[in-house]
Structures are given as structure tokens and as C-alpha cells.
Amino acid sequence: MKLKLLKLNILLICLFSHQLLAKDKILEELKVLARINQEMLAENFTTALAIIDSLGKENPNSPVSYFARGGYYNFLTDFYEIADFEKEIDKNYQKAIELSEDKISISPWYSYFIGASKANSSYQERRMGNMFSALSRGISAISYIEDCLDEDPENYDAQLIYGSYLFYKYNTAMMNLFVDKRDEGIRIVKKSIEKSLFSKSLAIVSLMWILFDYEKYDEAIAAGKLGLKDFPNSRYFLWGIAKSYYRKKNYSKAKEIYLKILKQVENDSINSNFNKFNLFYRLSYSNYYLGNSKESLKFLLKANALKLTDREEERLEDLLDDLEDLEDLKE
């Protein structure tokens, strides 16, 4: 009997030790994720990819490197506004999900990796116009994020996703008619800036766009400027700041920042006519409202000269219609 108890105790100790080692390993990998995010926001893409490659070689059966690689291609898709990396995004997030599913009992972080992978995939599906798939993945994502938070309410990387979800869920007239949880979502996102392990700067980006969509433009500008303290000239923050000034009808300030972004875009290694069109559109209108007719016409002609893909035209449909209105005003 004593021998059986001893064997049982040894088995329990081994299992417990294994779980502790696994949790320590995750924490080390999360520190690497923080470095990757920093390099991406600093636009050091080659360095970020090298860190991801190294992480994958050290831990080939861990979902973290696949999650990071999916995030890398997700970031590039946003940055350049192109569709070249969609297969890589889906492939790596799916692998991260597969590798996490058998490890959920070890740590709530694995629920996070599944939920975050599904949430990011949902975002890309929405960009591609696959709304049903986006909705399905989004609902599943939040379920896993809630599972993570049930076990670890202090996981503010997961809270960032939940807070963003909460804001956008109630950011419709139908949903906030009787209950409005948008401010609660914002509070959670703000706390994520302070307490997340690797998502601080991403939380600032999220907060900036949430405040923009909430039509709190001064606060959105303040959030963007907070991000620029760590990443000067990062267009991830400059876009939101410029668009907020534009919405405030401060066309002089908006123009200044759009010109700054345009200089960066024109020097990109990957061409993005989608980004160029957006900038020419904003600069044409900004100059029009400032009374600079020649400058306005210059950017109008540049916008019209761009060769857009069918998909880009579909995504830019409203802006293309607006530009036709501007042409009519100039005649």
C-alpha cells in the first residue's frame, strides 16, 4: 500500500513539475513575442522574421512561433494593404490552433492562442468580404478568450481582445439602445496598455481606432501620440492621427501628416496603390478645403492615374464615388 502511494506521489510530482516547466517555457516565449511586436512596430520586418524563425527552430511543437508568424503576415497585409499573404496568414494561424488544442489543460494561454488566432483570422476574412466566415470565426474566438479569462482574469493580452470585442459589439444603434458597454470596453483596453505582457503597443493602436470610431477625435489623437513616443514616425499611429485631424476639419494638420505618410509609402519596397489612392484622395480634399486648387487638382489627377485591381476598386468604392464628386466641383 505504501509503495503504491509512493508511486502515486512520484507520478503527481512529475506531472506537476512538467506543468510548471511548460508554464515557464510559455512565459519565455511570451517575452520573445513582445520583442517581435516591438520590431514589427518599428518596421524592422527582417529582424522580426529572424526572431520568429529562431523561435520555431527552438520550439518546433509550440504554437507560439506559428502564432507569431501568422501575426507577422497579418501585420504586413495591414501595413501594405495587399492580399499577397492571405494563405500564409491562414496556414500559420490554423497550425497554431492545432498545436494549442491538446495543451489547453496545461495553461489558459493555449486558449488565448486559439482565440487570438481565430480573432485575427476573422479580421482577415472580413477584409476579404467573407462576412459569414468572419462572423463564425469571431464568435468562436471570443468563446476561447472567455475560457482563458475564466481561468486567468488578469491576462490582459486576452482582455485586450475582449475589451475591443465589447466596444464594437455595442457600437451599433441596435445593440446600445438599452445597454451600452462601449465605455467598459474602452476601460479594459486602457488597462491592457498598462498590464499586458506583450500587447502594450497593439493596445494603443486598438485604443486609437476605437476612439476614432467613437468619434472622440481628440482622444484618438492623444492615443496616437502616445504610440509615437516609442515608435516615432510609425505610420501605424500616423494614419489614425491624420484621419482624426481630417474628421475634426483641421485640414492643415491632416495634410501635414498625410504628406509625411506619402513620403514613406513612396519609398516602400512593396508597392501599394491602395495606400497611395487613400493618400491622394485625402490630400486632394484637404487642399480643396484649404483653398489650394492647384494642389488639389494635382492629387486628384494622381489618384485617377492609379491602376487599381478589381478588389481594390471594390474596397475603395465610396472614395472613388467621392472623388467623382470632387471632379464635378472643379468643373
Residue range(s) defining the domain that contains residue 265: 249-331
The string over 27-54, giving b where at least 16 C-beta atoms fall within 10 Å of a residue's C-beta and e elsewhere, is: eebbebbbebbbbbbbbeeeebbebbee
pLDDT of residue 15: 37
CA 205 to chain centre: 8
148 and 16, same domain (yes or no): yes
Q: Which of 153, 182, 206 is the last residue of a domain?
A: 153
Q: Domain for residue 306, yes or no? A: yes
Instruction: Note the residue count of the chain.
Output: 331
Q: Are 67 and 116 in contact (CB under 8 A)?
A: yes
- Determine, yes or no, domain membership for 169: no
Q: Is residue 226 assigned to a domain?
A: no
Q: What single DSSP character describes residue 83?
A: S
Q: Are residues 281 and 142 in the same domain?
A: no
- Residue 305, all three cell numbers: 492615374
Instruction: Round the CA-based radius of gyration of the chain to a whole number and report it.
Output: 23
Q: Tell me which of 114, 133, 153 is where a domain ends.
A: 153
Within 8 A by CB and 6+ apart from 173, the residues are none
Q: Quote the pLDDT of residue 122.
A: 86
- Give the orientation angle of helix 251-266 with respect to helix 273-289, to 10 degrees: 150
Alpha helices in the chain (DSSP H): 2-41, 45-58, 63-80, 86-101, 109-127, 131-151, 156-169, 182-195, 200-213, 217-230, 235-247, 251-266, 273-289, 293-305, 310-315, 317-330
Task: Say if residue 141 is in the same domain as residue 34.
Answer: yes
Q: What is the CATH number of the domain that holds 126?
A: 1.25.40.10
Write down the pLDDT at residue 168. Answer: 93
Integer Cα distance of 90 and 121 in angstroms: 7
Cα 200–chain centre separation: 12
Same domain, 17 and 138: yes
List, for residues 191-243, the tens digit of each pLDDT value: 999 999 999 999 999 999 999 999 999 999 999 999 999 999 999 999 999 99
Say if residue 252 is exposed, middle or buried (CB neighbours under 10 Å; 0-12, 13-18, 19+). Answer: exposed
Give DSSP secondary structure letters for 246-281.
HHTT-HHHHHHHHHHHHHHHHT-SS--HHHHHHHHH
Q: Determine if residue 196 is left, alpha or beta; phi over 0 gives left, psi from -120 to 50 gives alpha, anything else beta.
A: beta
The contacts of residue 206 (CB under 8 Å, 6+ apart) are 160, 164, 189
Residue 87's CB is within 10 A of a number of other CB atoms, namely: 10
Cell of 4: 503504491
Do 146 and 35 fall within a single domain?
Answer: yes
60 part of a folded domain: yes
What the block records as the C-alpha cell of 28 is 519565455
Residue 229 lies in a domain: no
Looking at the fold, whether 132 and 267 belong to one and the same domain comes out as: no
Is residue 61 in some structural domain?
yes
Is the alpha carbon torsion for 99, 104, 107, 113 positive or negative? positive
Collect the ranges in the chain with pLDDT lower than 70.
Answer: 1-24, 173, 176-177, 328-331
CA distances from 37 to 150, 255, 259 (A): 26, 29, 26
The answer to whether residues 146 and 274 belong to one domain is no
Reported as a single tens digit per residue, the pLDDT across 54-86 is 999 998 999 999 999 999 999 999 999 988 898
Q: What CA–CA distance (Å, rounded) separates 101 from 1?
A: 37
In the block, cell 518546433 appears at 60
Q: Is residue 74 part of a domain?
A: yes
Contact indicator for 186, 200 with CB cutoff of 8 Å: no
Phi then psi for residue 61, to 5 deg, are -100, 10
- 153, 185, 202 - which closes a domain: 153
Asked if residue 93 belongs to a domain, the reply is yes
Work out how many domains the chain is built from and give that number. Answer: 2
Q: How far is CA 87 from the centre of its chain?
A: 18
